[in-house]
Amino acid sequence: MSLPSVRPLLLAVSNRHLFASDDVSALAYLVEWSGRVARAGIDLLQIRERGLDDVVLVRVVRDVLAATRGTNCRVLVNDRLDVALAAGAAGVHLPATGLPPHRARQIAPEGFLIGRSVHAAHEARAVAAAGGADYLTFGTVFESASKAPGHPISGVRMLADACASAGIPILAIGGVTLDRVPALTRAGAVGLAGIRLFATPPTGAGDRGLANAISAIRAAWSEPTGAGGWSISWERR
């Protein structure tokens, strides 16, 4: 199994706390949401649900796999390589403080996808050089509601540096909105990842909005970008 070649590559990251205040309701909706984002055209789905009992997390991942069956979406588990393998997920996404990708590659079966979060260009180069990762997510590129005030912002210039020098596919994450998509294209990212960007309410209107958002992102990615680099107004000053 290799990384999908479609561009832009879209990765949705789950957060059950955006769906409901209690875990029973939130996890039930997370599974339903997973099927909807997969059918809407998301390429990768990262199950990033912290604080769950191992047995519960394995069950949730298996339920998500069932909900996304028959689509082209590949399900990844955040951090927990053991859970990803036990549940039969397509891969794992490793945080910066987690197991190094080259170590995970020694354990994982052939074709298993391995991603890793990075936050600076030099980190992207080091992780890529060590081997084992199929892709990186780079951020936080823009200020994001998912991060606390004052969280470090990498910016588009550092993203461009990482994309140009790491030699591995990089997805941008953090504060991504439709109007910022062309900047990511110019920076050299192969796609983007988002949490709130792909979160939708449990309604038919939410389904239509999600499909429309994905179509708009893909259209913006394919637009000509012209000769000038990225917009400095989108950088943190």
Return the domain boundaries, the chain.
9-224
**Residue partners of 132: CB distance under 8 A and separation at least 6:** 100, 101, 102, 103, 104, 105, 114
Domain 9-224: CATH superfamily, name plus number = Aldolase class I (3.20.20.70)
The whole-number pLDDT of residue 231 equals 30
State residue 220 phi and psi, 5-degree precision: -65, -35
Instruction: pLDDT band for 5, please (50, 70, 90 cuts).
Output: confident
Instruction: pLDDT band for 98, please (50, 70, 90 cuts).
Output: very high
The whole-number pLDDT of residue 101 equals 98
Tens digit of each residue's pLDDT (9 = 90 or more) over 11-29: 999 999 999 999 999 999 9
Range list of H helices, 19-71? 23-40, 54-68
The whole-number pLDDT of residue 210 equals 86
Model confidence pTM above 0.75: yes
Tens digit of each residue's pLDDT (9 = 90 or more) over 206-234: 677 788 889 999 999 975 443 333 332 22
Has residue 235 got a pLDDT over 50?
no
Measure the CA–CA gap between 195 and 201, rounded to whole angstroms.
13
Instruction: pLDDT band for 148, please (50, 70, 90 cuts).
Output: low
Measure the CA–CA gap between 62 and 87, rounded to whole angstroms.
6
Tens digit of each residue's pLDDT (9 = 90 or more) over 160-214: 999 999 999 999 999 999 999 999 999 999 999 999 999 876 555 567 778 888 9
Lowest mean pLDDT among 36-40, 136-140, 202-206: 202-206
The whole-number pLDDT of residue 229 equals 38
